[in-house]
Amino acid sequence: MSPTLKIYNTLTRTKEAFTPLDPAQVRMYVCGPTVYDYAHIGNARPLIVFDVLYRLLRHLYGVAHVKYVRNITDVDDKINARAAERGITIRELTEETNRVFQNDVQALGCLAPDVQPRATEHIAQMIAIIERLIASGHAYAADGHVLFDVPSMPAYGQLSRRSLEDMRAGARVDVAPYKRGDMDFVLWKPSAANEPGWESPWGRGRPGWHIECSAMSWEHLGETFDIHGGGIDLVFPHHENEIAQSCCAFDQRVMANYWMHNGFLQVEGEKMSKSLGNFVTIHELLCTDKFGGRSWPGEVLRLAMLRTHYRQPIDWTVKALEEAEANLLAWHDHADFDSVDESEELPASIVNALCEDLNTAEVISQIHALNKSGQARALKKALQFLGVLNIEKFSRAARASDLQHDLSAETKTQIETLIADRLAARAAKNWAESDRIRDELAAMGVVLKDNKDGATTWELKR
């Protein structure tokens, strides 16, 4: 008999036994990236945390009985600004950035969600929700905008535990003249000619950020579902506003029964920021020597992230990565994985630890115990389940050769085309474009070597 999964519910501020709405289809939604730039290491934390939860749910309920949705936000003012800054189309920017994101997530050992919906593919659903909100008196159109009427929902603030008075006192934004109340938030806004836009009952425009997740979760998981996850920074206003939109549109008491949030991440004891020079992206950790003077395997990044309980703050340090790598190497050195039967059961100690609100710190303690006692079969299964099995110990050249051999013809062609484009940019002395292409290739794990004769060779590394 499987142990009871207990998770900390931000909505109730208690650890609760998990009871799905329908055990035949457990449903989870996690807020994904806004694809205007490469994802930073703070963004990696919810990716890894909720991947572990996804693996656990599949173990407890069966692979066919879990549906995991993680969205892609591909319409946003940050995207508009970045595309204009680079002089490329919004579609070009989002396609490039999403491709890098998918490569990063795969390198971190995350399973692909069952659905990765794009916001731009769900405009009709957003408009439908907004029409429902207007019809029920929870939203109003004004000056080409549509806004959610916050005072119309007495329970607003239930997730963040903030009263309307506290939120007003803490607000530091100018109140637009078309707003009825200072806390009302945008559901739809007009688009200028050079901005992405869609026809709607309120004119050509585009959605606000919050309505996107309400629409995508509704389309793929229904009016209510089991688990909604994300970083602690999303509790207010994003998740609070999602609840308001979805509950009022569908006349439901809750949007999701369980709300899970991972804690903040800082770098070497300080808040990560570009002004401090400690802002580091996932692909920089994987492919460059920016952090600690070297690149790091995805399994090392993943294990370092899981050493701290997901709800606690985490300090991202070179020392933590070095310790994680040392542990992985020791575990692989002390077991003959080639002889392990794939049908081996996941150790109960691992399942029990994960069922206690994803206690990955305890999981790692149990892995140490399995290693110390020489239980090779159980050790392999535990590492495999945690997503940290495949750390490479071969030479760089051997890894590059093996990885290149495994590439599809389509991917090889894509790499060669990008290299040719970079050479053309260098010949035209377009250094900014050359550097951009180099970074895109690096995000794919491609290492370039410019030879004296003007030719460029490449290899792959983890």
* Tokens coding 412: 């090889």
CB 216 within 8 A of CB 205: no
- C-alpha span between 350 and 355 (Å, rounded): 9
How many CB atoms within 10 Å of residue 177? 7
47: left (phi over 0), alpha (psi -120 to 50) or beta: alpha
* Average pLDDT score over the chain: 90
322-356 burial, b at 16+ Cβ within 10 Å, e below that, comes to eebbebbeebbeebeeeebeeebebbebbbebbbb
Query: How much is the pLDDT for 397?
Result: 37
- pLDDT tens, 294-306? 999 999 999 999 9
Query: How much is the pLDDT for 295?
Result: 92
Identify which of 236, 285, 288 has the alpha carbon closest to the alpha carbon of residue 259. 236
Relative to beta strand 314-316, strand 265-267 is: parallel
Least confident of 128-132, 186-190, 270-274, 310-314: 270-274
Question: Which overall architecture, per CATH, does domain 20-262 show?
Answer: 3-Layer(aba) Sandwich (3.40)
Query: How much is the pLDDT for 424?
Result: 87
Q: How far is CA 332 from CA 270, 369, 380, in A?
A: 33, 14, 9
The one-letter amino acid code at 346 reads L
Least confident of 14-23, 127-136, 331-340, 416-425: 331-340
Residue % of the chain over a pLDDT of 70 = 91
Q: pLDDT tier at 92 (50, 70, 90 boundaries)?
A: very high
- pLDDT tens, 2-56? 789 999 999 999 999 999 999 999 999 999 999 999 999 999 999 999 999 999 9
> What residue ranges of the chain are covered by domains with CATH 3.40.50.620?
20-262
